[in-house]
Structure 1
Amino acid sequence: MTEHQGLTVNGVRLAYQVAGPAGGEPLLLLPALGETADDWAAVRDVLARDRRVYALDLRGHGRSERAGAYSLELMRDDVLGFLDAVGLDRVDLVGHSMGGVVAFLVAQHSPWRVVRLVLEDAPPPFPREPRAAVRPEGELAFDWAVVPALRSQLDRPDPSWLEGLSLITAPTLVVAGGPDSHVPQEALAELARRIPEARLTTIPVGHLVHAAAPAEFTEAVTAFLADVPDGEVARRWLAEDGITQTGPDAWYDADPPVGTLTGEDVCNGLGSMAFTDEGLDLAGRLRVALGLMDLLGGHPLVTWQIHSAHLGPEGPLPAEPLWGGYRRRLEAVREYPAIAESLWSDWFEVWQTAEEAFAEVLGNDRDRLEAGAPEPLLRRARRVLEVSGPVPWKAKAATYEAAVRVPELHPAVFGGLLAGYHDVYGQLEPEPALALLDRLDLPAGTEHRDALRRVLAAGHRNHHRSPEAWSGAWSEAMPSE
């Protein structure tokens, strides 16, 4: 049964529909320009089988108030105010066309409010050629004043919208309508590339995907929403202790003493507790720990616990959530400094785990390293090679050889060689390392290249075993560097 309700947000009366079990995970649907909550009827009931589904009439549309003032930013603020008014801290968000623009504006403005994001054939925030809008005859289900106000924004989008795509932390599904859609499909692909955790799927039925192919649309969306990200697992774990996010690096602790915490505070208080939670199995504890890294960044109390649990009495940790989790983050567009730092200090500098960790995050895939390899694999390779200095030479030599086949990885191979010489746990094999160095196509004047070549040619393996050798080589190489 679908209920029709209304409330006032930002001084504007908004109408909405709600369906599904009261205890279901919340899902908010935002319609296209000129459409209303009724537009979701073809898919609403399927989505509401086990979810609490809200469909909103945006200001100026349907049963919502004709507000007079219209912009995509005002609609974004209406959505955030709506979530506050109905008591939803976080929500899965689906937007079609203009509703998709509003959805990604919400997700970049307040990323902690969006669990997962679905953008259905939404106009990407790239300038486009303006087209004259002609008012249809007869009575409209929306205020015509919305059209010129929003079309002008869509034609000349604020540059911050494009820049803000990188701020979206929610896993995102971009649903494209294919060649029959008026939305440029190559621009949709670029939209997906610019959102850090986005994937693209095409259902080639034109712009009205959910109406033209409701079964295919709901299948794609429900499968996507069924995948709970590690960050959400960690949020739910924190919420059990009364800790919820209220802003960038701001967390509210409902337990006495009540107050606001930073991410550092949360890590200091709870970072070491994930692997002591007896209510979770080992895989569940690992997902919480990885999720804390996603939410809060690197912290020794989190990353060290993962490594310790792997070597501890209950270890080793399950391979797929552990190494699959590392690989996915190393391949992501989003930067995960904590992952690289953890690889270096927690795994590669410890002899018991260095070879296993290197093989799992890169070595086992070395045969796939070639020019034209998928960009996610090359991103992973680049990030791993740069921190691979402590890994024993015999464990990484073949992977270094493979990486040399890919010119764009040459700087990362050089970084690994240089780190291998300088890290206290590193040890190069001078002859093969020198041969490898001489095959790298590096920019002229690459800092420390000549000094590294001199110490390797002299047979030195590590800076800390012969510090005077590096000092001398660096001094001799200074004129050319």
Structure 2
Amino acid sequence: MPSCVELYCLDSGADDGGELPLVIIHGLLGSADNWRSHIRTWRKKRRVVAVDLRNHGRSPHAEGMDYAAMSDDVLALLDTLGIKRAHVLGHSMGGKVAMSLARLSPGRVASLLVADIAPVAYQHGHDDIFAAMREVQNGRPTDRREADALLARHIDSRAVRLFLATNLQRGDGELTLRVGLDQIIAGYPAIIAPPAGEVAFDGPCLVLRGADSPYVQDDMLPTLREVLPRARVITLKDAGHWLHADQPDAFHQAVEAFIAAHPG
């Protein structure tokens, strides 16, 4: 098994109120930065730690994107931060990391919150996105306008292009990708696979899905309940896969209410 990667994180700092921390795990090609607005709200009540997974954000690049390895990375970070138990929230790919962590180390998870992903194998669906990222990698744009034009060769959606552009960083007069694109593409079969672990997580669990998203369909719910038997499923109206961005208030309220009901 690959050695653990020392992950970067946004940490709101220790909380003296006695509340368990909330750990946030982003999705594919996302980062902790995507959650800053939510962190500002949640940190009023508890310590919040948002991680950058391997090959994402400011974390190092490394081979291997399987869920056991990424779960181990997060656990190593929690050990470093002195967090023995926490509420764990994961979106999309990060939701599978969170499920893996809960199944492999259930004692560390007070409650599990999964945003718009099911514990199933998905079909390939990111070819256009990877092609767009390659365009930027090879095109060496000097500003974000050039980068957007390169992304637009494969991605029509302005919103998706803006999301992908969060992975750009400036260096030596040009914009480069901060993600480990080669490692992510090589590890993609593991990313679309089910989460790690052989047993169910029988702790409290909330699954939030977007009404306009195809990621958690009704025919997936039997499998979901085999893995997460105590899961409560809530569907957010007028929300797609990025439901925390589409309906931030409803998302925030659902998370707050669930954690309040299951303080750990």
When the two structures are superposed, what TM-score results if normalisation uses the length of structure 2?
0.74
Q: RMSD across aligned C-alpha pairs, in angstroms?
A: 2.3
The match for 1:111 is: 106
**Paired letter, 1:70:** M
Query: What is the alpha-carbon distance in structure 2 between the residues aligned to residue 141 and residue 212 of structure 1?
Result: 25
**Pairwise CA distance, 1:48:** 1.1
* Matched ranges for 1:214-363 at <5 A: 214-228=248-262, 232=264
Whether 1:147 and 2:140 are equivalent positions in the alignment is: no
Higher relative contact order (CA 8 A, sep 6+): 2
The match for 2:206 is: 173
Structure 1 residues 186 and 224: CA distance shift in structure 2, 3 A: same
**Pairwise CA distance, 1:145:** 2.5
**Pairwise CA distance, 1:67:** 1.8
Whether 1:74 and 2:106 are equivalent positions in the alignment is: no
**Pairwise CA distance, 1:184:** 4.0
Asked if the contact 2:65–2:188 (Cα under 8 Å) also holds between the matched residues in 1, the reply is no
**Pairwise CA distance, 1:198:** 1.1
Asked if the contact 1:34–1:142 (Cα under 8 Å) also holds between the matched residues in 2, the reply is yes
* Matched ranges for 1:124-143 at <5 A: 124-131=118-125, 133=127, 134-135=130-131, 136=133, 137-138=135-136, 139-143=176-180
1:92 alignment partner, one of 84, 87, 102: 87
Structure 1 residues 42 and 182: CA distance shift in structure 2, 3 A: farther
**Pairwise CA distance, 1:16:** 0.6
Structure 1 residues 223 and 156: CA distance shift in structure 2, 3 A: closer
1:57 alignment partner, one of 49, 52, 60: 52
**Pairwise CA distance, 1:44:** 1.3
The SS at the match of 1:175 is strand
CA deviations on 1:291-315 (whole Å, 9 max, x unpaired) are: xxxxxxxxxxxxxxxxxxxxxxxxx
Work out which of the two has the higher radius of gyration on C-alpha atoms and give 1 or 2.
Answer: 1
The match for 2:11 is: 18
**Paired letter, 1:126:** V
Whether 1:202 and 2:195 are equivalent positions in the alignment is: no
Whether 1:44 and 2:77 are equivalent positions in the alignment is: no
The SS at the match of 1:224 is helix
Asked if the contact 2:7–2:74 (Cα under 8 Å) also holds between the matched residues in 1, the reply is no
**Paired letter, 1:157:** P
CA deviations on 1:43-64 (whole Å, 9 max, x unpaired) are: 1111111110000011111111
**Pairwise CA distance, 1:142:** 1.3
**Pairwise CA distance, 1:118:** 0.3
**Paired letter, 2:180:** D
Asked if the contact 1:21–1:49 (Cα under 8 Å) also holds between the matched residues in 2, the reply is no
The SS at the match of 2:61 is coil
How many residues get paired? 216
Asked if the contact 1:176–1:188 (Cα under 8 Å) also holds between the matched residues in 2, the reply is no
The SS at the match of 2:60 is coil
Q: Which structure 1 segments of 5+ residues have no match?
A: 1-9, 233-481
The SS at the match of 2:11 is strand
CA deviations on 1:300-348 (whole Å, 9 max, x unpaired) are: xxxxxxxxxxxxxxxxxxxxxxxxxxxxxxxxxxxxxxxxxxxxxxxxx
The SS at the match of 1:25 is coil
Structure 1 residues 85 and 127: CA distance shift in structure 2, 3 A: same
Asked if the contact 1:121–1:188 (Cα under 8 Å) also holds between the matched residues in 2, the reply is no
**Paired letter, 1:153:** A
Structure 1 residues 30 and 187: CA distance shift in structure 2, 3 A: farther
**Paired letter, 1:15:** Y
The match for 1:102 is: 97
**Pairwise CA distance, 1:188:** 4.9
**Pairwise CA distance, 1:170:** 1.9
The match for 1:211 is: 245
Query: What is the alpha-carbon distance in structure 1 between the residues aligned to residue 106 and residue 213 of structure 2?
Result: 29
Query: What is the alpha-carbon distance in structure 1 between the residues aligned to residue 44 and residue 71 of structure 2?
Result: 27
**Paired letter, 1:186:** D
Q: Which structure 2 segments of 5+ residues have no match?
A: 137-175
* Matched ranges for 1:359-438 at <5 A: none
